[in-house]
Amino acid sequence: MQSFSNPRIPKLKAVFISLCLLTPGISAYSQVITPDSVDRLVNRTLKTFDVPGIAVAIIKDDKIVYEKGYGVRSVNTGKKVDENTLFGIASNSKAFTVAALGILADEGKLKLDDKVTDYIPEFKLYDPYVTAEFTIRDLLTHRSGLGLGAGDLMDWPDSTDFTMSDVIHNLRYLKPVSSFRSKYDYDNQLYKVAGEIVKRVSGMSWEDFVESRIMKPLQMTHSVAAYQRLKDFSDVADAHAPVDGKVLVIPRFIAGTGDAAAGIYSSVAELSKWVIVQMNEGKYGDSSHLFSEAIHREMWSPQTIIPTPAKNYYNTHFTAYGLGFVLSDVKGYKEVNHTGGIDGMVTKITMLPELKLAIIVLTNQESGAAFSAVTNQIKDSYLGLSGRDWVKVYADNVKASSDNADKVTSAVWKQVEARKLDAVKTDLTPYTGTYRDNWLGDAVISLKDGQLWISCKRSPKLSGQVLPYIGNTFVIKWNYRSMEADAFAMFSPDENGKPIGIKMKPVSPLTDFSFDFQDLDFHKVK
């Protein structure tokens, strides 16, 4: 679990808690934030966190009281962001998946506590007991026993060729790190399975269901369930990330099998309609319901406990995951929120239902600090809190985290350089060959001009140099640099000292959790 002091946030998903782990303070009442103040706040945020573009909406008492775009959709074109600019909302798509299942439950076509195997007989997890007991609700609540981001390398980086059938099959190879239903660990793969249940029960794809049964009734006419379904590209944000210290346009993440976890593209103007429905217990228009109040209560009821720091600025005592949302108390009010992150875009939706308040922040860079600073500053004005400069708070946190990560990675690369100068050269030939992981497939390690290289067959972007580090431990420098996910490769020898396996883990403490190298277990096959 990572906090938003991390300058990059996890993918598909999203880490969850918008809490600042600082000592609480007492502040005097302040006026609700003005449009000019929002302008200053967001423009300062753009500059501080080097974000090309941000869109913001504030919804109060079922009305959009503020919506505006800032900065540019792309540093390549310089075209401006507006309230209709489409962003990948990433894991904020998960609540749409829950709503889709809720609609089917309202129609009597399934129950949230039905067994997954009732609908997907081939579904199988590592533990047979867990497989037999696993329910649709378990797919949605991050309590499976799998580790944080387990299996996400089937999606990241997005050059992989895994089908939905592959994903379902490969879940059986992912070893649990905790007992079933005992612990919160954020998961994306099981939301993909939830999307498959929508497909099998409704007879239409998850994408078709979401667009026809959710977006169409809400008149979200420009939003789509997946980037590939866009017909109008005239107002779409590009993805950006720091590459060698400069923010550049990077290849757009295409969710593929992961649309039910992270595929939707939408704008603050149209997401405002979605949050108004949420804050009205599924009701839209004069009398229509998208889903029932009973389903809404399930979505906003605690399902899985999330640990909460003893001291925090908002005096939060409890945090939990509901269905598609994180639930907590902030200064005595209920807060419902979720974040989302894919390559080059991160987003946050926050609702305080007792205040009939919602805040939506969409960005086209990978700075969770940016959306947190904007959200919290606006939220504070409605809570009557003042005196906290959230841009500075998060800028300081980002610097501290980055400085720490730089120390770690600099020490590693210093050792790699020292190894290059060693008088005794490592014989690299024994390390070559084909290594196989049960769920990621084959990785080929070969020699080119005296240098080891790795190439993962089912994930072409997972290729790069394999550099000697210490003993049988090497460092992989991936060719795709915007990932910021270089990894240790630890070779295990047989009784004769010949490498026969590889375990991996990230080098940097800031590596996105969806690069779940730690879940891989390669064995040499030739």
Q: Per residue of the chain (526 residues), give pLDDT as tens.
A: 233 333 344 444 443 333 333 333 333 334 688 999 999 999 999 999 999 999 999 999 999 999 999 999 999 999 999 999 999 999 999 999 999 999 999 999 999 999 999 999 999 999 999 999 999 999 999 999 999 999 999 998 878 899 999 999 999 999 999 999 999 999 999 999 999 999 999 999 999 999 999 999 999 999 999 999 999 999 999 999 998 889 999 999 988 899 999 999 999 999 999 999 999 999 998 779 999 999 999 999 999 999 998 889 999 999 999 999 999 999 999 999 999 999 999 999 999 999 999 999 999 999 999 999 999 999 999 999 998 999 999 999 999 999 999 999 999 999 999 888 876 678 899 999 999 999 999 999 999 988 999 999 999 999 999 999 999 999 999 998 877 899 999 999 999 999 999 999 999 999 989 999 999 999 999 8
Query: Which run of H or of E encompasses 241?
Result: strand 240-243
Among candidates 249, 267, 337, which has minimal Cα distance to 88? 267
Q: What is the DSSP-derived secondary structure letter of residue 17?
A: -
Q: How many CB atoms lie within 10 A of CB 447?
A: 13
Residue with tokens 């229509």: 288
Q: Are 154 and 166 in contact (CB under 8 A)?
A: yes
**DSSP labels for 204-227?**
S-HHHHHIIIIITTTT--S-BSSG
The C-alpha atoms of residue 195 and residue 523 are separated, in whole angstroms, by 32
pLDDT at residue 31 in the model: 61
pLDDT at residue 110 in the model: 98
pLDDT at residue 375 in the model: 97
pLDDT at residue 484 in the model: 83
Residue with tokens 């999330």: 306
Query: Which run of H or of E encompasses 467?
Result: strand 463-470
pLDDT at residue 15 in the model: 38
Residue 462 main-chain phi, psi, to 5 deg: -85, 75
Tokens of 225: 């369930």
The C-alpha atoms of residue 130 and residue 260 are separated, in whole angstroms, by 23
Residue 131's SS3 state is helix
The angle formed by the CA atoms of residues 150, 515 and 91, to the nearest 5 degrees, is: 70
Q: How many CB atoms lie within 10 A of CB 289?
A: 18
Entry field: residues in the chain: 526
Would residue 90 be called left, alpha or beta, if left means φ above 0 and alpha means ψ between -120 and 50 degrees?
left
Give the pTM.
0.91
The C-alpha atoms of residue 7 and residue 4 are separated, in whole angstroms, by 7
According to DSSP, the β-strands at 87-88 and 473-478 are unpaired
CA atoms within 13 A on the CB side of 446: 9
Q: Are 499 and 431 in contact (CB under 8 A)?
A: yes
pLDDT at residue 30 in the model: 43
Tokens of 484: 């910021």
- In three-state form (DSSP H/G/I as H, E/B as E, the rest C), the secondary structure along 285-309 is CCCEECCCHHHHHHHCCCCEECCCC
**DSSP labels for 166-211?**
HHHHHGGG---SS-TTSS----SHHHHHHHHHHHHHHSS-HHHHHI
Q: What is the DSSP-derived secondary structure letter of residue 173?
A: G
The C-alpha atoms of residue 189 and residue 138 are separated, in whole angstroms, by 12
Q: Are 472 and 485 in contact (CB under 8 A)?
A: no
Evaluated on CA atoms 509, 515, 519, 523, the torsion sign reads negative
Domains of the chain: 35-92+224-388 (3.40.710.10), 403-524 (2.40.128.600)
Query: Which run of H or of E encompasses 500?
Result: strand 499-506
Evaluated on CA atoms 209, 214, 220, 225, the torsion sign reads negative
Q: How far, in Å, are 14, 98, 169, 508 from residue 6 at the CA level?
A: 12, 28, 33, 12
